[in-house]
């Protein structure tokens, strides 16, 4: 069986990303007429907002010490499962599915790549691990072989795996060498087969990378019917080396295209997102595509703001990349020791899950997001992404306690102000 370090679709150049964001941004997202106000869905934030890309278990990565709902798994690649026609190898994937069940999490499998024997271009170099099989990033020369692969996987895990994503970052040439038309054909065939095997399966569209002219690629994909061959629109809202707020115009543009092609009723999921982050034991110096790694403080701030802003902008699930990555991991280089950002991931869930985000707005570049708790009490999440700033506490808020993402709590009884900074703070009227 082929073993490999999993890096997914992260080999993008910051120069291209910066150009893309500059060229394809829209005015700041507004949902209520005021360009600085978000009014999210009027429903409690579910635990399913919090999900992970989990990689490198074969290379010593520990199982996550933090709660999450869905594991986006990379071991369903066709060349791994059927390297020779009719010879199937499910050992690693069986282990992963059993491990997920043991840990009480669900799994999303990515259906992608092509073994050499089935490839439309079997001499083409593969990607992205040692000794990759040739032809892996091409489409299948015979659609029936692709359908048999999809059917075999879905049948084996029927009732155990409910989520399937169709290819990974196909707009990046190193991950997919076919045309958009061929991709749509693959996805339509896979969607049909998956629903035949189990109508309860949720199918996620091909998650595009913010690489080059990705929005034009997405529009062409939708125009050809790609959005109809999925229950969920998936996207990868990477913006490194920029701050999380840079995701907002990109999310809005994606939503505008979904509306244009009549798939706005489908959920939007962010199936990959992350930044390089400093390790306490060893750092990688040669990965410069996404700028300098974030220090611990900024990593905590970026993660929290990302989840809050994604939900505020209408993204229903977020999959952080990644647990077990040596330069973007929630663990240190050893793949085991959780960073402070991992503790913040857990604390943020305590802030959000079960509460309703009533509104997020900006005031002089500061963010104020209002939460209604399940008991009816109110809370506010505040930050300024650029600087420290004094915030006068309105008396009508009745704020009594402040919480940090480290888990520390501070009484605010008798206080009339707090100091905001780039790391979000939670202000509570009824301490919990």
Give 279-332 pLDDT, tens digit per residue. Answer: 999 887 655 556 789 999 999 999 999 999 999 999 999 999 999 999 999 999
Question: What value does the mean pLDDT take over residues 259-282?
Answer: 96
Per-residue pLDDT, 24: 35
The pair of three-digit structure tokens given for residue 205, joined into one six-digit string: 């569209």
Q: Which of 7-21, 244-258, 294-308 has the lowest mean pLDDT?
A: 7-21
Per-residue pLDDT, 384: 97
Token pair 């109809």 in the structure block, residue: 228
Whether residue 39 is contained in a domain is answered as: no
Final residue in a domain of this structure, among 304, 332, 354: 354
Say whether both 117 and 189 belong to one domain: yes
Q: What is the CA radius of gyration of the chain?
A: 22
The pair of three-digit structure tokens given for residue 347, joined into one six-digit string: 């604390």
Distance of CA 323 to the CA centre of its chain: 12
The count of structural domains within the chain is: 2
Say whether both 275 and 420 belong to one domain: no
Per-residue pLDDT, 284: 77
Say whether both 123 and 159 belong to one domain: yes
Say whether both 264 and 348 belong to one domain: yes
Whether residue 4 is contained in a domain is answered as: no
Per-residue pLDDT, 33: 37
Contact 83/89 with Cβ under 8 angstroms? Answer: yes
Say whether both 339 and 383 belong to one domain: no
Query: How many residues are there in the chain?
Result: 432
Whether residue 112 is contained in a domain is answered as: yes
Token pair 């543009």 in the structure block, residue: 253
CATH number of 371's domain: 2.60.40
Per-position DSSP letters for 260-299, written without gaps between them: HTT-TTS-EEEEEE---B--SS---SS--TT-SPB-HHHH
Whether residue 6 is contained in a domain is answered as: no
Say whether both 387 and 340 belong to one domain: no
| Domain extent for 370 | 364-428
CATH number of 132's domain: 3.20.20.80
Say whether both 205 and 262 belong to one domain: yes
């Amino acid at each position: 069986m082929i073993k490999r370090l999993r890096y997914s679709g992260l080999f993008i150049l910051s120069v291209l990303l910066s150009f893309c964001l500059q060229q394809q941004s829209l005015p700041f997202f507004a949902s209520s007429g005021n360009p600085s106000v978000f009014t999210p869905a009027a429903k409690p934030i579910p635990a399913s907002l919090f999900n992970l890309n989990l990689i490198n278990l074969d290379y010593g990565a520990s199982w996550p010490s933090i709660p999450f709902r869905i594991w986006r798994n990379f071991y369903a690649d066709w060349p791994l499962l059927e390297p020779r026609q009719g010879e199937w190898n499910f050992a690693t994937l069986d282990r992963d599915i059993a491990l997920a069940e043991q840990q009480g999490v669900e799994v999303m499998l990515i259906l992608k790549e092509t073994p050499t024997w089935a490839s439309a271009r079997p001499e083409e170099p593969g990607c992205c691990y040692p000794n990759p099989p040739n032809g892996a990033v091409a489409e299948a020369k015979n659609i029936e072989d692709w359908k048999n692969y999809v059917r075999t996987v879905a049948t084996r895990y029927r009732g155990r795996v409910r989520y399937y994503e169709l290819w990974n970052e196909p707009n990046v040439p190193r991950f997919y060498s076919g045309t958009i038309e061929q991709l749509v054909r693959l996805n339509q065939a896979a969607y049909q087969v998956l629903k035949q095997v189990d109508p309860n399966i949720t199918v996620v569209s091909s998650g595009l990378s913010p690489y080059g002219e990705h929005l034009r690629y997405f529009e062409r994909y939708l125009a050809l019917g790609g959005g109809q061959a999925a229950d969920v629109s998936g996207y990868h809202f990477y913006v490194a080396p920029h701050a999380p707020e840079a995701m907002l115009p990109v999310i809005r543009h994606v939503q505008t295209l979904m509306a244009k092609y009549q798939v706005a009723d489908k959920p939007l999921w962010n199936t990959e997102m992350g930044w390089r982050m400093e390790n306490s034991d060893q750092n990688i110096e040669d990965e410069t595509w996404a700028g300098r790694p974030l220090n611990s403080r900024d990593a905590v701030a970026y993660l929290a703001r990302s989840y809050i802003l994604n939900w505020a902008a209408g993204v229903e699930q977020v999959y952080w990349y990644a647990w077990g990555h040596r330069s973007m991991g929630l663990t240190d280089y050893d793949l085991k020791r959780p960073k402070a950002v991992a503790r913040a991931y857990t604390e943020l869930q305590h802030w959000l899950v079960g509460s309703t985000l009533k509104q997020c707005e900006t005031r002089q570049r500061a963010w104020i997001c209002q939460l209604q708790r399940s008991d009816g009490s109110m809370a506010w999440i505040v930050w300024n992404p650029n600087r420290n700033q004094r915030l006068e506490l309105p008396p009508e808020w009745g704020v009594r306690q402040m919480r940090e993402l480290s888990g520390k709590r501070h009484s605010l009884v008798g206080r009339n102000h707090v100091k905001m900074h780039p790391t979000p703070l939670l202000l509570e009227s009824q301490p919990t």
